Amino acid sequence: MQQNCIQVKNLSKTYADLTAVNNISFDVRAGEILGILGPNGSGKTTTLKSILGLIEFDEGTIEINGLSIRKKRSEILKNVGAVLEGARNIYWHLTPMENLTYFAGIRGIPRKDITDRAQYLLESLELADVANKEIRQFSAGMKQKCALACAFIHDPSILLLDEPTLGLDVEITRTIMEWLVDVVDKEGKTILITSHNMDFVESICQRILIIRKGEIISHETVKSLKEKFARKHFIIDLETEPHQTLLDSISSLGTLSTGNNSLKIELETVDYLIPLMRALDESGIKMLNFRSVENDLEDIFLEVIRGEHNENA
């Protein structure tokens, strides 16, 4: 059984009249990637900053590797890396190598070990060719990779990432995703991530917390979420817009939406497929295409956030 390396119990934080986090509890197991999803203002970043001891939370306890963040923060942070608010934790007028050397130095890494560690990170994150160029010249994705490298320079066992792929293109996102999975698989690292990128989260996270208005409303594995909430929709492309007679005849079969000469329907039961096809045939409208699509993680997330299936873990 995996040991819990982060334990959050009954965490609460209020700003004036706003309750940012309301009595939440969860754990992060050693060697896993845990994702935290939620709309803007749901409390994701406040939770990460509380874990790092960057803000003073009102109630609850946070322990990392058995140590209290309130009592042993300096000792804890020796084994934790973080990237918050984009790539702001690096110096843009320095090069990647200069940044890595600087952050290694303030982390107390012996000078003789810095070059090898920095070179490893530059190569694994595909930054070796630009190691001596000023970061201010880089794209957002390149800056983010530099930020990750600096957060990892002291070889922490735990990495906390706040929206690591925000605004990045597909290629850079894939590079970061593959690198994170690699350090977990090969080095046994533990990663806690907040993100709005559902494809990214689904690809790398074993478990997901969904937070709404400072409260955890779902805490499950990606697999169990999909098994519980995934539903099959049927999308029917038509030659013309569906007329009201057709819509009325199939509205009782399931949840229905229309647009661009197409119908999208989630049937209450697969048995309704026969009356659906019969109604389409009788409508006189030519059917161009008929396909089934299962809910993806984004559909499930929106369904949970809207409270249609609100279940606490």
In a shared domain, residues 10 and 48:
yes
Residues with Cβ within 8 Å of residue 126, at least 6 apart in sequence:
145, 175
Q: Are 178 and 133 in contact (CB under 8 A)?
A: no
Q: Phi, psi (5° rounding) for residue 226?
A: -70, -35
Of 177, 199, 227, the one marking the end of a domain is 227
C-beta neighbour count of 14 within 10 angstroms:
15
Residues with Cβ within 8 Å of residue 72, at least 6 apart in sequence:
none
Of 205, 227, 249, the one marking the end of a domain is 227
Q: What is the pLDDT of residues 177-207, one digit of tens each?
A: 999 999 999 999 999 999 888 888 888 998 9
Q: How does DSSP assign 21-58, residue by residue?
A: EEEEEEEEETT-EEEEE--TTSSHHHHHHHHTTSS--S
Q: What is the pLDDT of residues 88-110, one digit of tens each?
A: 789 999 999 999 999 999 999 99
- Count of domains forming the chain: 2
Decide if 160 is inside a domain: yes
User: Which CATH number do you get for residue 19?
Assistant: 3.40.50.300
User: Which CATH number do you get for residue 269?
Assistant: 3.30.70.2380
Q: In what order do the strands lie in the sheet with 59-64?
A: 18-29, 4-15, 59-64, 67-68
Residues with Cβ within 8 Å of residue 89, at least 6 apart in sequence:
82, 83, 147, 150, 151
In a shared domain, residues 178 and 267:
no
Decide if 135 is inside a domain: no
Mean pLDDT for 103-121 is 93
In a shared domain, residues 70 and 160:
yes
| Rg value, the chain, Cα | 24
Of 202, 227, 252, the one marking the end of a domain is 227
Decide if 186 is inside a domain: yes
Q: What is the pLDDT of residues 252-285, one digit of tens each?
A: 888 888 888 888 887 767 788 889 889 988 998 9
Determine the structural domain holding residue 46 and report its residue range. Answer: 4-79+156-227
